[in-house]
Amino acid sequence: MIFTAFFKTLGQTGDPRFRKVLFLGVGLTIALLIAAYAGFLMLIQWLVGPEATLPLLGEVTWLDDLLSIGSLFFMLVLSVFLMVPVASAITSLFLEEVAQAVEDKHYPALPPAAKVPFWDAVKDTVNFLGLLIAANILALFLYVLFPPAALFIFWGLNGFLLGREYFTLAAARRIGTAEAKKLRRKHATTIWAAGTLMAMPLSVPLVNLVIPILGAATFTHIYHALSRR
């Protein structure tokens, strides 16, 4: 079912409406990564002073380094870690448009979806993002204690959290947040597996740029498949 949902998503990338959202999502993802990376360079310089050095970059002067070629490669590596919170932030912005495009093509008989109130969506996004960041900070201790398993811990943890967020937001459009959480608990294993399969390519530079939007579409299909069970 998970792979069926993903291949349906890939099959829709030629749809002009879907492609427009995909390009917007990729553009915003790049912008968020650059902003996060600029903040990272400024933080390093603030913590250790103007003579801070980083591998590949040498001395950190955040504006110059942000615009350098070496910085591009460093940012691609850093995106492995930054893409998880970026993917979380992207959901609330684009899920409605992505889900509607998916439903118009694959589920045209459905009535209009209920609009999630803007501030409710913002609150849920902030809560999810806070949980995501806190969980990943705590996971740093596990990475140090079990270095050979670090990548699997990263995938499993963020797969659980991202699957939880993406599914809840996709389902809440149709059945409300309370019922979405009930359905999520009922199919927790499937949703975790789908989230993990999403987290894995998020750790691949460049590929990870398209994953937030593709993930939103895939979880829309997953919601409709699980809602019929």
CA distance 183 to 171: 8
**pLDDT tens column, 65-76:** 544 555 666 666
How much of the chain is in helix, strand and coil states, percent to nearest 5? 85, 0, 15
The answer for residues whose C-beta is within 8 angstroms of residue 107's C-beta and 6 or more apart is 224
Encode pLDDT of 130-159 as tens digits.
Answer: 888 888 888 888 888 898 898 999 999 999
Give the start-to-end residue ranges of the domains of the chain: 2-227
Distance between CA atoms of 34 and 38, rounded to whole angstroms? 6
List the one residue out of 34, 38, 119 whose CA is nearest residue 76.
34
Find tokens 């792979």 and name the residue. 3
Residues 53 and 61 sit within 8 Å (Cβ to Cβ): no
d(CA 186, CA 98): 25
162 compared with 40, residue with greater pLDDT:
162
Instruction: Quickly state the pLDDT bin for 179 (edges 50, 70, 90).
Output: very high
Nearest to 93 by CA among 29, 17, 40, 159: 29
Q: Strand 58-59 vs strand 53-54: parallel, antiparallel, or unpaired?
A: antiparallel
Average pLDDT over all residues of the chain: 82
